[in-house]
Amino acid sequence: MTSTSIPLGPEPEYEKVVSGYETLHSPEPFACEWGGVLPELHVAWESWGELSPGRDNAILLHTGLSASSHARSHPRNQHPGWWEEVVGPGLAIDTDRYFVICTNLIGGCYGSTGPSSTNPATGSPYAMDFPILTVRDMVRAQLLLLDHLGIDCLHASVGASLGGMQSLMLAALAPERVARVASISAAACSHPQSIAMRFVQRQAVMADPDWNEGRYYGKSFPHRGLRVAREMGTLTYRSGPEWMERFGRQRPRDCVPRLHEDFQVERYLAYQGDKFCLQYDPNSYLYISKAMDLFDIADEDNSSGASPEGVDLPHLKSIAAPALVIGVKSDILFPVWQQRELAHLLEDSGNRVTYVELDSPYGHDTFLIEVDRVGEALAAHLEG
């Protein structure tokens, strides 16, 4: 099935990134929060704009689950980035003024160390020998990059979805290094509904016989499991009102109904699932989605068990930077009440908070589609 058989609509811009990025190599062992040590670490990153002489104009972009470091096109990779219309000269995140950095988070599959990377101790991919990751681990790897670049304090830490979690975590873990923080369609912690949805997605991947306990590299790819997982994920990225307008109840005329793709909305989900299988590593999907489940920066007493016993988890009260929180009324994955909750928790901690609520039909993907409205709020916050 091709995309031309599906009613056209706005879609995020993603690609499988295999080149065009820089790589930080840290030869030192990297101890993860829940145990396990990576013998070495690679962090893929891209940048736009120029670092000021005072090294005080840097903005760090944090990505969602499946995005790469390629937020915007550049000479070494001219394919449009996932925030092509937000980052650039004269745009909301103005690269004529700011030095913008975006990393591929660790655990990913676009240049940073992840389950598909070669374990130097064995010469084979880590697969399920990769340690459980947390958002804190991801941010600690980003701090290694900032140290490497000689950036002591960011002008802003900006992210959406899982990126919003990272943005908050960085501002809490190293408050002296963040002057502004922006969290878009994220949350102070993962709530049971989103945990349950991601659990079922992981079960779909692991139920595929080709998953082979994560050791499918060089063998049969668990296409069926990852496809179903992405189809379920897509249900949470968009909204019913958009699909009613875009697809309605349309199905091929005069065709006998079948149990496979029949309605246009079913064909759309199948297309998204197949496309994702060409771009992403299933084991990365498992590890990163679990890191989202474990995220909790609202629980000061750690009664949720979000971190190992004896490990102090950074808390919202540690954040000292002015904050921008953006929510979307139609968001299913991170419902808008979670954005209101986050804004109130930050205010209760003494932060200056700007809260923006968007009425958009595009659900969780609004930050990738309604770029003018999201960009307007971001630009004002960066100027503030």
Q: Are strands 87-88 and 93-94 parallel, antiparallel or unpaired?
A: parallel
Q: Which residue reads 């930077």 in tokens?
A: 321
| Confidence class for position 4, pLDDT limits 50, 70, 90 | very low
pLDDT exceeds 80 at position 305: no
Q: Which of 62, 70, 315, 364 is catalytic?
A: 364
- pLDDT score recorded for residue 360: 94
Who wins on pLDDT, 339 or 309?
Answer: 339
Q: What is the 3-state secondary structure (H, E, C) of 197-239?
A: HHHHHHHHHHHCHHHHHHCCCCCCCCHHHHHHHHHHHHHHHCC
Contact 87, 48 (CB under 8 A): yes
Distance CA 361, CA 328 (A): 9
Distance CA 149, CA 322 (A): 24
pLDDT average, residue stretch 271-285: 95
| Confidence class for position 1, pLDDT limits 50, 70, 90 | very low
Q: What is the 3-state secondary structure (H, E, C) of 313-328?
A: CCCHHHCCCCEEEEEE
| Confidence class for position 261, pLDDT limits 50, 70, 90 | confident
pLDDT tens readout for residues 154-190: 999 999 999 999 999 999 999 999 999 999 999 999 9
| Confidence class for position 310, pLDDT limits 50, 70, 90 | low
| Beta carbons within 8 Å of 162's beta carbon, 6+ residues apart | 62, 63, 64, 65, 105, 135, 186, 288, 291, 292
| Beta carbons within 8 Å of 173's beta carbon, 6+ residues apart | 136, 139, 140, 143, 314, 318
Is 161 one of the annotated active-site residues of the chain?
A: yes
Question: Looking at 165-305, which runs of residues are DSSP E strands?
Answer: 181-184
pLDDT tens readout for residues 330-373: 999 999 999 999 999 999 989 999 999 999 999 999 999 999 99
| Confidence class for position 62, pLDDT limits 50, 70, 90 | very high
What's at 367, amino acid-wise? F
On average, the pLDDT of the chain sits at: 93
Q: Which of the listed CATH numbers 3.30.930.10, 3.40.50.1820, 1.10.3720.10, 3.40.50.620 matches domain 7-190+297-383?
A: 3.40.50.1820
What's at 279, amino acid-wise? Q
Q: Which of 69, 112, 117, 161 is catalytic?
A: 161
- pLDDT score recorded for residue 177: 98
Q: Which of 137, 208, 293, 331 is catalytic?
A: 331
How does 104-131 read in b/e, with b if 16+ C-beta sit within 10 Å?
Answer: bbbbbbbbbbbbbbebeeeeebbbeebb
Question: Structure tokens of 353?
Answer: 């908070």
- pLDDT score recorded for residue 5: 59
Q: Where are the domains of the chain?
A: 7-190+297-383
pLDDT average, residue stretch 250-260: 83
Is 331 one of the annotated active-site residues of the chain?
A: yes
Distance CA 84, CA 106 (A): 23
Category of 235 on φ-ψ map: left (φ > 0), alpha (ψ -120 to 50) or beta: alpha
DSSP state of 40: S
